[in-house]
Amino acid sequence: MKVILAKDVKGLGAKGDVVEVSEGYARNYLVPRGLATVATSNRLQEAERQRVMQARRLERAKLQARELAERLTGLHIQIEAKAGEGGRLFGSVTNKQVADALSQATGSTIDRRQVELEEPIKNLGSYAITVRVGPEITARVVVEVVPSARS
């Protein structure tokens, strides 16, 4: 029996997949739990339409991510931080501060989880940082930590 999965089912497939299963499995487990619906011709057409729309959304998202990566690549930003003797910071510069500075510089929303810091920045200086803007799409930016005028 052919069914269209309404949710991801481990070992069977992902949401929207059309799979062939035994009739008992479909009627006694998948359909009653809302994991799948019986595949009729109308539902198959709707599933195909949904798949096409999802592919278009993914393609648009990839295009936007590439454009953002182009804008970010080679970008040089400065972050002010209080520093003591020898350039050691009071505290540290985190990925959230870098993301906020990038968002301000580009006008696009950059989430802190997209900024890849091995560890927080604790000294003054320039740092090359990777920003993950999409699946398999990254950009390298230069962050310069400078002493604030108040230190």
What homologous superfamily does CATH list for 2-60? Ribosomal protein L9, N-terminal domain (3.40.5.10)
Domain span(s) for CATH 3.40.5.10 in the chain: 2-60
pLDDT band with cut points at 50, 70 and 90 for residue 66: very high
Burial class of residue 36 (count of CB atoms within 10 Å of its CB; 0-12, 13-18, 19+): buried
pLDDT average, residue stretch 13-30: 93
Alpha carbon distance 68, 65 (integer Å): 5
pLDDT tens profile 96-138: 999 999 999 888 889 999 999 888 899 999 999 999 988 889 9
Distances (CA, A) of 49 to 17, 38, 43, 45, 139: 12, 17, 10, 6, 34
- Here the contacts of 107-116 (C-beta below 8 Å, separation 24 or greater) are 108/68, 108/71
Task: Give the domain 69-147 fold.
Answer: Ribosomal Protein L9; domain 2 (3.10.430)
Does the predicted TM-score (pTM) go above 0.85? no
Q: Could you give the percent of the chain with pLDDT greater than 70?
A: 99
| pLDDT above 50: residue 145 | yes
